[in-house]
Amino acid sequence: MTDSSDLIIGVDAGTSVIKAVAFDLSGHQLASSSVRNSYATGADGSATQSLPRTWADCVAALRGLADKVEGLAGRTAAMALTGQGDGTWLVGQNNAPVGDAWLWLDARAAPTVRELASGDLERARFESTGTGLNTCQQGSQMAHMAATCPELLDNAEVALHCKDWLFLNLTGIRATDPSEASFTFGDFRDRRYSATVIAALRLEGRRHLLPEIIDGSQETRPLTAEAAAQTGLLAGTPVSLGYVDMVMTALGAGVHTGDAGAACSTIGSTGVHMRAVRSDAVHLNAHGTGYVICLPVPGLVTQVQTNMAATLNIDWALALAEDLMAEVTQAPSHAQMVAKIDSWMARSRPGALVYHPYISEAGERGPFVNADARASLVGLSATHRFPDVIRAVIEGLGMATRDCYAAMGEMPHELRLTGGAARSGALRGVLAAALDTPVRVSAREEAGAAGCAMMAAVAIGAYDTMDACIARWTTPLLGKPEAPDPGLVPIYDRLFTNYRHARDGLVPVWDGLAAARATQGA
């Protein structure tokens, strides 16, 4: 780092958007650049993404950032990467892709997951990783490939994740980070690969595909001359391989600030719910669900439960109204519809309907795993109107959040929120009352990019410890606590009981609907 190097670039490679964000060394966001990514889905449950296109989009985002920050290359002290988790990005000879990546959205591994879940080593695998088996994960996807299309693995030399692929293009190094490695193939206690886990996945013969593990808060790799020519940055710039996006977003938003009992939820297209605990205090639930993901802080991990769909449920409900209105008149824009949510909430009665927000075609993965789970609305009568449905959908997000935290132990003493939906006062009020805990919103705009940039800041010595960096980058951006409405708390206690009863009772209905879809070829 030179005297003129005064900023860090954080790259957050999401499923549909890649962002490059510049921060100064005190954590202030200076500028950002984003590029739309794309992925393809198929009737067979596939969800795939082009590796070359993803790298090209990353380059475009970095080039776009240079257009906004004068002298970006010379001012960059380091850059860091995070990205969408899970999924399988296979790379072969000469670092060429082996086909398109299987994303975390890909559901093709469902039959293999069901088979592995009944294996003798499944509980041992869960207790090592702390992570429930599901179709999103690289381990189950590789096991499915080994059983159904082994040529993919035969042609591969290494199995990477999204950010690992970008790191390879930037540095020429095949590697992954401790978070992805341990919750997929390893042990969260020592952050290394586990022979027991690899055996439980029946991948002993594919062990050579797992890359080395690099902790980006402790070490970096230099930007290659080839990558420098493509990105416009300087060769030799330190590059930090960050942890998976879920934990980077939580780190940037305040999952760990030294306050006991704090938790962090990201309410975006999906719902991610986390609490930071010491690795010897992890609560492993009896159902074997959730994730345990390492933090870049010694001895600390996050317990995680994730909903496959969060605001996607709101988008679905609004789309119904938009489509209907378009049949008879000019429909309002999606933004205009979103702006009316708070007024609709004010015109409806809380706790009157039960909505299960399982709108994803991949089912649900937190706090239970069921690829056939589907959304439902229970309790309708002729007096209910559209505002009641909107309230039910938003309350369903609150119930799903509570369901996830209940699977991790006690309710949090304080909930930190990030994600676009955190701007909604109605949603914040529902979440606070559903969990009976104060809510605080992080003012951090790009929490994921900030989280990985913080790792780079520690790795290059700008801060002695991650806790010191958190005190400067994260804690000051937390808003004031918003207390739960005491009148709503008992209403949501009753609603949650009904939510759980209805969810348990719907399992045979989901089974029947799945069988019907299979018969109809849909």
Q: What is residue 513's three-state secondary structure?
A: helix
| Residue (of 274, 86, 227) closest to 164 by Cα position | 86
What CA–CA distances, in Å, run from 409 to 100, 146, 265, 305, 369? 39, 36, 15, 12, 18
**Per-residue model confidence (pLDDT) at position 521:** 66
User: Pairing relation of β-strands 439-441 and 414-418?
Assistant: parallel
**Whole-angstrom Cα distance, residue 489 to residue 410?**
16
Predicted pLDDT at 311: 87
Quick check: 290 and 188 in contact, CB under 8 A? no
Query: E strands within 344-477?
Result: 354-356, 376-378, 414-418, 439-441
Q: Residue-wise pLDDT tens for the chain (522 aa)?
A: 556 789 999 999 998 899 999 999 999 999 999 999 889 999 888 999 999 999 999 999 999 999 999 999 999 999 999 999 899 999 999 999 999 999 988 989 989 998 999 899 999 999 999 998 988 899 999 999 999 999 999 999 999 999 999 999 999 999 999 999 999 999 999 999 999 999 999 999 999 999 999 999 999 999 999 999 999 999 999 999 999 998 999 899 888 887 778 899 988 888 989 998 898 888 887 878 888 999 999 889 999 998 888 888 998 998 888 888 888 887 778 788 888 888 899 999 999 999 999 998 878 888 988 889 999 999 999 999 999 999 999 999 999 999 999 988 888 999 998 877 778 888 899 999 999 999 999 888 899 999 999 999 999 999 999 999 999 999 999 989 999 999 999 999 999 999 999 999 999 999 999 999 888 765
Cβ atoms within 10 Å, residue 28? 11
The whole-angstrom separation of Cα 498 and Cα 353 is: 9
Predicted pLDDT of residue 522? 53
Q: In sequence order, what are the residues at sequence separation of 6 or more whose Cβ sits closer than 8 angstroms to the Cβ of residue 140?
A: 109, 112, 113, 116, 133, 134, 201
**What domains lie within the chain, and their CATH numbers?**
86-160+178-213 (3.30.420.40), 259-441+486-522 (3.30.420.40)
Q: Which helix (H) or strand (E) holds 336?
A: helix 334-339
Q: What CA–CA distance (Å, rounded) separates 89 from 452?
A: 20
The dihedral through the CA atoms of 495, 496, 497, 501 has a sign that is: positive
Q: Give burial (CB, 10 Å; 0-12/13-18/19+) of 64.
A: middle
Task: Read off the DSSP letter of residue 78.
Answer: E
For strand 238-241 and strand 262-267, is the pairing parallel, antiparallel, or unpaired?
unpaired
Give the contacts of 520 (CB within 8 A, at least 6 positions apart).
none
**Cα→Cα distances 182→185, 242, 281, Å:** 5, 14, 17
Secondary structure letter of residue 407 according to DSSP: T
Angle at 440 between CA 436 and CA 441, to 5 degrees: 135
- pLDDT at position 267, please? 87
Residue 427 contacts by C-beta under 8 Å, 6 or more apart in sequence?
A: 267, 394, 397, 398, 421
pLDDT at position 2: 56
Q: Which of 7, 12, 57 is nearest to 449 (CA)?
A: 12
In contact, 21 and 12? CB cutoff 8 Å: yes
Q: Structure pTM?
A: 0.87
Specify whether the CB–CB gap between 154 and 145 falls below 8 A: no
CA gap 36, 57 in Å, rounded: 8
